[in-house]
Amino acid sequence: MDTSSTKAMSFSDVINGDTPVLVDFFADWCAPCKMMAPILQDLKSAMGDRLTVIKVDTDRNPQVAAKYQIRGVPTLILFHKGDVLWQQAGVVPLHQLKSIIESKL
């Protein structure tokens, strides 16, 4: 889901940009996290350039997980210009996720 342009940018740069960003905090060992992957791919296809979707492995990035007080995975956080617009732990169905994001933007 990462694009080459977001890989070259820092996490802070990405979430502080003009494009809203949905961050999926996940872990490789987490079964519900694996359920979110196709949902997020479908969401990105539906939203196109209106939304950036990135994944952050909490085991590899504990400092970022701690900063945002991630206590369980998956946790989704919607950022826009650095502000947290919405946050929820657990698997969120596509229609609900799309509806929440569109209501926040």
Q: Is 103 a catalytic residue?
A: no
The per-type count for the chain, helices as H runs and strands as E runs, is 5, 4
How far apart CA 96 and CA 35 sit, in angstroms, is 15
Q: Is 33 a catalytic residue?
A: yes
Cα torsion 53, 21, 68, 4: sign: positive
Which of 1, 9, 27, 30 does the annotation list as catalytic? Answer: 30
Tokens standing for residue 44: 């990105």
Which of 33, 43, 53, 97 does the annotation list as catalytic? Answer: 33
Active site residues: 30, 33
